Amino acid sequence: MDNGDDIEGDASLLSIRLLRLFDLLYSTNSVTRAGEAMGQSQPTVSNWLARLRRQLDDELFVRTTTGMQPTPRAQQLIVRVREALPALRRVAAPAEAFDPAVATRRFRICMTDASHITLLPRLLVHVRAVAPGVRLEAARIDEQTAQALQSGEADLAIGLVPQLESGFYQQVLYPQDWVCLVNARHPRIGIKGLDLREYKAEAHVGIVGGTGALLLEAALQRQKVARRVLLELPGFLGLAAVVSTTDLIATVPRHIGETLANSSGGALKVHDCPVRVPPFTVKQHWHARYHQDPASRWLRALCEELFAPKALKARPRNRLPEGHAF
């Protein structure tokens, strides 16, 4: 059956299928045998031959007592056809599969310093186990992230990245709400946690960098909650050490709070945040140029396997419409 794989309207372009028919007719001198070799009926092959004749403006093959014989024009073209077919087959062949077991390449992932603590160790352990020749590089999420993803300088961005616009795909990995990270031996906060009055009264350490910090500050301002911030940090690097040795409170996304508490040897605890801070979702983002790239698909599938709850894994990956930001 003719599936119309030729580019209609341009007589200078021939499909692989028509070139293969040309080659088989030249070799077999038979429409019937050429059709059998291609798995097509004789009427379909005759239709394709008619298209070839129109496009090349020549009879090409003429029926004789010894079968379909090539015209001088066909004899001139056969060498070119047989040179073109292998190249066209290579162009049309599926992309080479990515084999992590033998791959030797680098993946650059843009992420926050919180993800260095919550995601990167687990990702690295898995990559070393299944892809020993693969190297990982963590980069910051900043105003250059979109360009890095578009150019291929970076392969993936993981986090809350609202500045990305059209041309990017996104996939939710996990939801985030907010908790308070406190010293387990805090003199005034017990196992029941803290209420809003206590939250306002206590001293705080603030994380000032990143989109998450902006969400927190906006929620505090809307609810007219003023914190007494005694220390500001640009990131999460020293947060566990500060909170575990003082009575300062840190308001942080749940994933980083629970990770720091679980690795503190009992020195830290998390409590629900008494301020209503909007939750958000951590997503992985990639540019449309690399949506079908086998290596990129492997990395994204790995992050989905490691970090997305089962309830979210079935959700489709969505490409943003043009002009729409998230």
Nearest in space to 282 (alpha carbons), one of 162, 170, 179, 160: 160
Number of other residues whose CB lies within 10 A of the CB of residue 197:
9
Residues 266-322 have pLDDT tens digits of 999 999 999 999 999 999 999 999 999 999 999 999 999 999 987 555 454 555 533
Name the fold adopted by 16-92. Arc Repressor Mutant, subunit A (1.10.10)
Please state the domain extents for the chain.
16-92, 106-175+280-319, 178-272
Contact 21, 49 (CB under 8 A): yes
Whether residue 227 is predicted with pLDDT greater than 70 in this model: the reply is: yes
Residues 82-127 have pLDDT tens digits of 998 888 887 777 777 899 999 999 999 999 999 999 999 999 999 9
CATH 3.40.190.10 given to domain 106-175+280-319: yes
Q: Please tell me whether the overall predicted TM-score, pTM, comes out greater than 0.95 for this model.
A: no
At 311 the pLDDT is 56
Element (H, E) at 241: helix 239-244
* Residue 69, beta-bridge partner list: 62
Task: Write down the architecture of domain 178-272 according to CATH.
Answer: 3-Layer(aba) Sandwich (3.40)
For residue 130, give Cα distances in angstroms to 35, 94, 102, 119, 295: 46, 24, 9, 17, 14
Nearest in space to 320 (alpha carbons), one of 157, 171, 112, 152: 171
Residues 157-183 have pLDDT tens digits of 999 887 776 789 999 999 999 999 999
C-beta pairs of 26-30 under 8 Å, 24+ apart in sequence: 26/61, 26/70, 26/74, 26/78, 26/81, 28/67, 29/61, 29/66, 29/67, 29/68, 29/69, 30/67, 30/68
Residues 10-28 have pLDDT tens digits of 444 678 889 999 999 999 9
Whether residue 323 is predicted with pLDDT greater than 80 in this model: the reply is: no
Nearest in space to 142 (alpha carbons), one of 131, 153, 157: 157
> Is the fold of 16-92 the same as that of 106-175+280-319?
no
Report the SS3 class of residue 112.
Answer: coil
